[in-house]
Structure 1
């Protein structure tokens, strides 16, 4: 046996060694942009266009986009979509703009908030650049409660987005072409390596048409922050410059986390997004708990979903987000939230139900970085997975909520249904058609790390 493979076995008892082919492979860089190459420079052409829900998604949405610094105050045009290329005279909405200096040059990020729309109506819209326009995009506002809804949920994308996240997004859209909403559980990019703008460019490229064909609602992850004054007594977490400009999110967040927490209503569901990094590292856990309590108490809907980056019950060894359980978990349990959608730990795990069928806690990962499960997760979660890129489809139709987790190739990995009979909710596991649980078979990564499966 080669010495490298033998060393891998010693580091990871029970894991298979790197194959001879793996032993000669070089790790893939985090972005495809070679050193010294400018791939994602802003220009007069609008790019990084992303639609997000308004607080009331039936009657409004907001759009963010980017141009170079010569474009000062562009507009968004919107009109009811029609079959003729002449759709009539569009309404114009003036955008607000902010400047951002990155490794790719000076850009202006723009935001237009569109209100006064009709529910369940298909609109055509485009955004302005410098003497040019984007394509006309279509977006349908949310119907009134009672209509069926399909939404997508992605765990961390984070690394090698164009290379390996692209296929997951395409497969998700193939499986749910009727999806109206996409939830991302944080760490959309990795950051901190001098390529932040390249990474955001790759995130948008990997997502292709998704951000303009459905509403995108992301949670911030720890990698959306950076360490200021790192390795000094003044070290602290600071929100990255891209986050407040890259998305046009509802401005209704918790005190102290106004830019990174928010909520909105979409048909029969209220979605609340919390900022786990701010709660854990910046002292906002109690403020976010009070805010979340009010958001959930006022919810008029049958279904409630919370999205957060850091899990309440971590499936990775050595992690324990105790502050989330102390301050925010009692609120989530008191209001019997239906789904808690999480990321951060780069494995898959659904926590086994306790005395009550809800909340259902799920951790997933869409991107290339893959960790290993803790022993506790293997006892308290089922199903679990390592070394697996996944996406999730959630379908809500009246009293039924169906959840499916699928692999990057579209195979069914997990499925269950929540049913509401009017007096209580029940969880029905759906094992038919699922593939077997997947575990990491590598002793270590190509970079030699035995605590991960892939990076």
Structure 2
């Protein structure tokens, strides 16, 4: 009897219309994927008593503390954050001393998924280079314990990430980039984002998916720059039209509060393990007349830098690699300050391609543009002649490492392959020099599609 079972199954399969139906089914026409995985009419990201959208951002001195923001339903008011030096034991108390408690400030926000309370706690007075365990409170509940290491003293080796625009289809297509980034930077405690985190500044589903997509980086402090998509157009198509910063940006992140006059919600600086980081708001500089104020501020920030290294993070590139884009106002105001202070790296986004420029005469500044999300544009002819390497149709992340007199940079694809690599070497009185790394790099990638799936010839992918 046992020997008949395969024959019976085979006969059943032969008689079944299922395999034939599969074989004869016509191939579906390619559709442009929605920007979120949330079906229309479905509520996926409603605020509840459980804390979510938990994110840490560095204080001005990242060695001594960080701020934490999170979201809950409106029943939660002034919750607390608990923090202790992380231990091998599950018991986070130190003998009879409970974890330190920090009371959060709370603000309300009514968004597309309902009214929420957003909380932020400033955790200061910490020890440098120390791993802390912490959690945040909700309604009769807590978040899981998380761990975050404060910045170590200058001179300690550092590993961190730089992520270009995520913007579109975060849950669907950016998540894999974040997982791959963690694989290649397992010791990173800091992640820089070059703006356009989401596509619509006030779309709460998009923000929910961005926090989901960046979940693999939960052990890192985040330092994002604002992009133009963190703003929305008020009074659109009228003489009063203007750009306005979305409330989600202001509620989701707690920055040091040391930014330029008039743009303190979108500019800031901090010191992290021997590097001074300055974050600029390119949108306000280009569209809201904030360029002169940021220029004066950036000059002061860089003039007071006690460290050997400096990095500027901005969304819009000073030299755009995408066709038909020109950011002349940035070059006229902010660029002379960057050049005069010999900033080491200028990390940028906005143009949805890859390009590196600078290092003339083998010295900084070096300007890079990258993209992590699936929206992919096309390179300009000028970029092909003035930048190297360049790339299209490629999701990327960047791993940077500072070790002594060497600041190294790697751009890797979503599958982990090395796309670009170089190092800046500090020779002391002789200044810094750029050292190329060609080994193991793949060739430049160009778009082979005549147009994106939606039909646009100026894009390689939607």
- Give the alignment's TM-score, normalised by structure 2: 0.92
**From 261, 281, 292, the counterpart of 1:275:** 281
> Does 2:444 align with 1:437?
yes
> Does 2:323 align with 1:317?
yes
Question: Secondary structure of the equivalent of 1:382?
Answer: coil
Task: Note if contact 2:424-2:434 (Cα within 8 Å) is conserved in structure 1.
Answer: yes
Output one character per residue of 1:403-437: Cα deviation in whole Å (capped at 9) or x when no partner: 00000000000000100011110001111110010
Task: Note if contact 1:51-1:62 (Cα within 8 Å) is conserved in structure 2.
Answer: yes
Task: Note if contact 2:358-2:364 (Cα within 8 Å) is conserved in structure 1.
Answer: no
Q: Which residue of 1 aligns with 2:210?
A: 203
Corresponding pairs, count = 432
**Distance in 2, Cα, partners of 1:97 & 1:313:** 40
Higher Rg: 2
Cα gap change, 1:437/1:255 in structure 2, threshold over 3 Å: closer, same or farther? Answer: same
**Distance in 1, Cα, partners of 2:216 & 2:455:** 36
**Distance in 2, Cα, partners of 1:394 & 1:276:** 23
> Does 2:420 align with 1:420?
no
1:375-454 correspondence to structure 2 within 5 Å: 375-423=381-429, 424-454=431-461
Structure 2 residue ranges without an equivalent (≥5):
1-25
Output one character per residue of 1:11-40: Cα deviation in whole Å (capped at 9) or x when no partner: xxxxxxxxxx99921110000011100000
Cα gap change, 1:22/1:58 in structure 2, threshold over 3 Å: closer, same or farther? Answer: farther
Task: Note if contact 1:276-1:324 (Cα within 8 Å) is conserved in structure 2.
Answer: yes
> Does 2:296 align with 1:290?
yes
Task: Note if contact 2:321-2:380 (Cα within 8 Å) is conserved in structure 1.
Answer: yes
Task: Note if contact 2:357-2:388 (Cα within 8 Å) is conserved in structure 1.
Answer: yes
Q: Which residue of 2 aligns with 1:55?
A: 60
**Distance in 2, Cα, partners of 1:51 & 1:286:** 30
**Distance in 2, Cα, partners of 1:85 & 1:434:** 43
**Distance in 2, Cα, partners of 1:367 & 1:74:** 34
**From 33, 37, 42, the counterpart of 1:37:** 42
Structure 1 residue ranges without an equivalent (≥5):
1-20
Output one character per residue of 1:267-308: Cα deviation in whole Å (capped at 9) or x when no partner: 010100000000000001011010000000100111100000
Q: CA RMSD in A?
A: 1.1
- Give the alignment's TM-score, normalised by structure 1: 0.94
Output one character per residue of 1:332-353: Cα deviation in whole Å (capped at 9) or x when no partner: 0000000000000000000143
> Does 2:234 align with 1:260?
no
> Does 2:191 align with 1:177?
no
Question: Secondary structure of the equivalent of 1:213?
Answer: coil
Cα gap change, 1:357/1:22 in structure 2, threshold over 3 Å: closer, same or farther? Answer: farther
> Does 2:132 align with 1:123?
yes
Output one character per residue of 1:339-384: Cα deviation in whole Å (capped at 9) or x when no partner: 0000000000001432461100000000010000000000000000
**Distance in 2, Cα, partners of 1:356 & 1:174:** 31
> Does 2:359 align with 1:353?
yes
**Distance in 2, Cα, partners of 1:196 & 1:112:** 25
Output one character per residue of 1:47-105: Cα deviation in whole Å (capped at 9) or x when no partner: 00001100000001000000011111100000111111112110100000111111100
Cα gap change, 1:272/1:22 in structure 2, threshold over 3 Å: closer, same or farther? Answer: farther
